[in-house]
Structure 1
Amino acid sequence: MKNLFYRIIYFPPVNFLLRNINKAFRRMVPDIKLPPSGTMRLRLNDRIKFRFHTNQSDFVGFCLFWTGVAAYEYVPLFGKIIVKCRSFVDIGANGGLYSILAARLSEDIRVLAFDPTRAASFYLNKNIRLNHLASKVTAYPFALSDQTGKTDFFEVKNKKYPFLKYNLGGSSSMVNYPADYERLTVQAFSFDDFVNQYALEELPIDFVKVDAEGAEPMIISGMSSTIRKYHPIVVCEILPDESGKRLEEIFKEQGYSFYTHEKEQLVPAKTLVDPDNKEVRNCFFVHPSRLSLIGEFIGHS
């Protein structure tokens, strides 16, 4: 009976009606926020509008609907930086929010989006088509790592919605086991091998986003040649584990500085290692040669 109820309220036409009624009366029922399912029409500002297809398992879609695009993570800061970039590498693209934004914000940018999950294969490609961005955004169903070959990937399963074909929950990983998962065998590349195999050596890599649930150090190690050559700005999700320490070591060797973000400012950080901080953080890694891209956004610690 519960599954039938969920199927009804998350059937896209029904969900569209219910979620918008819910939103209209949110002050009366502040604790009830129905997750969106289906295609949403979203806007970053009056100029940048786009469509985003999602389902009820997607926390990103939930945030976009209930708090708006500009309130999500570091989106405003991302928007101001990406317009100065020639390329964007989106690792752990999921439904493709940052890929879509990059392509909508910049006329001439080239976007490479990576995600090996079956959900991303469906939703990322659908969102690219919905926004007519196939000429600018290319989706690759590969995992990125520190080596090339077949690898195990732990794709999260959703116990609440067992009838869902695609789960957009963001905890799928190469290195961490979700509470409930399905083991997949996927193709992995180091990014350095990927650009050679796909003849992209001459594409200047300006901005990289990595959200890979603990696999960030492996991924960054696998793009060491690219980092030495182009010194891209890199944003990584930092989990409260050893990955922050390892990323700090890798980027220090490359001469990078570290920044946390507060709204539309970048705040210099001396270290990423903080045993008392158990929160997931997004940190910007910036080489001195790229300071001209972010200088106006740097605040004070």
Structure 2
Amino acid sequence: MNKHLVRFLIRNYPFKKGRGSLIAYAMKHVSGMNISADAFGNRFLLDLDNYIDCRMFLEGSYEQHDIMILTRCVEQYDCRYFIDVGANIGVYTVPLAAHSRVRKVYAFEPDPRNYAQLTANIFLNRRHDKVTAYHLALSAEPGLGTLHTASEPNRNESGKFNTGANSLIFNPERHTGSGVEVQTQTVDALIQLEGQNIAVKIDVEGHELSVLRGMKNCLAKNRCVIMVEAFDERFEAVNDYLHESGYKLCGDSQLSKFNYVYVTDERRHIP
């Protein structure tokens, strides 16, 4: 199957109905490595045997609307810094680093495979002067942890690896029994900013509360806009912690499922 022809058909498919089935079929029939431009004009080294990479190749982006929402937040709240927790291959890091208003990006990714692609994609887009990438996991305290590996391709519907589902929190329905030992650290130990407007994205597959506890000073001493993924069973704890820290939930029905945005002033809203 010609993967470039398939990509063209999907990106130009005019109907909502049937689009999901077309993408699901295509994902099972494209593979290999590819350098491809996303919807924002950034170049990415993609492994088409990996779920997120394949979606980016076929559709032009992954969580495109959420990236656009966060970009508008950067503009409205004049955010000069971006902290990407669970940066994966740079899906958010690269486009946010391209924004003229953002001075500095801190990207954190513990998975060795993802981190290798993250640094490659930073280099491909000539953002190495603006982005500092860390090969570690963020948590509530420094130490060591086990990054649990997502299920094998034959155990999920897409037939792809999904390194984006790797987590410090073991889930028998999503992870194999294997994992890799990773270093853990806190935001507060690594980033000392005060009085700044900061955009934050947290996607750590269940470990978000620990990440937030490890950035207590950052949240208190700065004005942050936080996009956090929180599954249903963990949402209440995350919401309570951020509320106690002075942050309010603001809604946008178009955000991807389980993604939420918090700001420091309840009168603010997502642009």
Say if 2:90 and 2:121, in contact at 8 Å, map to a contact too: yes
In structure 2, what is the equivalent of residue 286 of structure 1?
Answer: 263
- Cα shift readout 1:82-139 (whole Å, capped 9, x = no counterpart): 2431100000000111110111122542000001101122110000010010000111
Instruction: Kindly state the Cα deviation for residue 205 of structure 1 after the two structures are TM-superposed.
Output: 5.4
In structure 2, what is the equivalent of residue 156 of structure 1?
Answer: 150
1:171 aligns with 2:134: no
In structure 2, which of residues 108, 119, 124 is the aligned counterpart of residue 130 of structure 1? 124
In structure 2, what is the equivalent of residue 194 of structure 1?
Answer: 190
In structure 2, which of residues 54, 59, 69 is the aligned counterpart of residue 62 of structure 1? 54
In structure 1, which of residues 44, 60, 74 is the aligned counterpart of residue 66 of structure 2? 74
CA gap of 1:71–1:157, structure 2 versus 1, over 3 A, is: closer
Give the gaps of 5 or more residues in structure 2.
156-160
The aligned amino acid for 2:79 is C
1:254 aligns with 2:245: yes
CA–CA distance in 2 between the matches of 1:152 and 1:71? 27
CA–CA distance in 2 between the matches of 1:217 and 1:50? 31
In structure 1, what is the equivalent of residue 180 of structure 2?
Answer: 184
Say if 1:235 and 1:285, in contact at 8 Å, map to a contact too: yes
In structure 1, what is the equivalent of residue 158 of structure 2?
Answer: none
Say if 1:158 and 1:180, in contact at 8 Å, map to a contact too: yes
- Cα shift readout 1:157-183 (whole Å, capped 9, x = no counterpart): 53449xxxxx65211111123332532
CA–CA distance in 2 between the matches of 1:71 and 1:89? 17
Which stretches of structure 1, 4 residues or longer, exceed 6 Å deviation after superposition? none
1:207 aligns with 2:199: yes
CA–CA distance in 2 between the matches of 1:154 and 1:63? 23
Say if 1:89 and 1:205, in contact at 8 Å, map to a contact too: no
RMSD (Å), alpha carbons: 2.9
In structure 1, what is the equivalent of residue 3 of structure 2?
Answer: 19
Say if 1:69 and 1:75, in contact at 8 Å, map to a contact too: no
Instruction: Kindly state the Cα deviation for residue 190 of structure 1 after the two structures are TM-superposed.
Output: 1.7
Q: Compare relative contact order (CA 8 Å, sep 6+) and give the higher one, 1 or 2.
A: 2
Instruction: Kindly state the Cα deviation for residue 240 of structure 1 after the two structures are TM-superposed.
Output: 2.2
- Cα shift readout 1:34-53 (whole Å, capped 9, x = no counterpart): 45641112232xxxx21011
- Cα shift readout 1:26-73 (whole Å, capped 9, x = no counterpart): 5699633245641112232xxxx2101111243333333333338624
CA gap of 1:173–1:73, structure 2 versus 1, over 3 A, is: farther
TM-score (normalizing by structure 1): 0.74
Say if 2:250 and 2:266, in contact at 8 Å, map to a contact too: no
The aligned amino acid for 2:116 is F
CA–CA distance in 2 between the matches of 1:76 and 1:247? 23
In structure 1, which of residues 30, 33, 46 is the aligned counterpart of residue 26 of structure 2? 33
The aligned amino acid for 1:65 is F
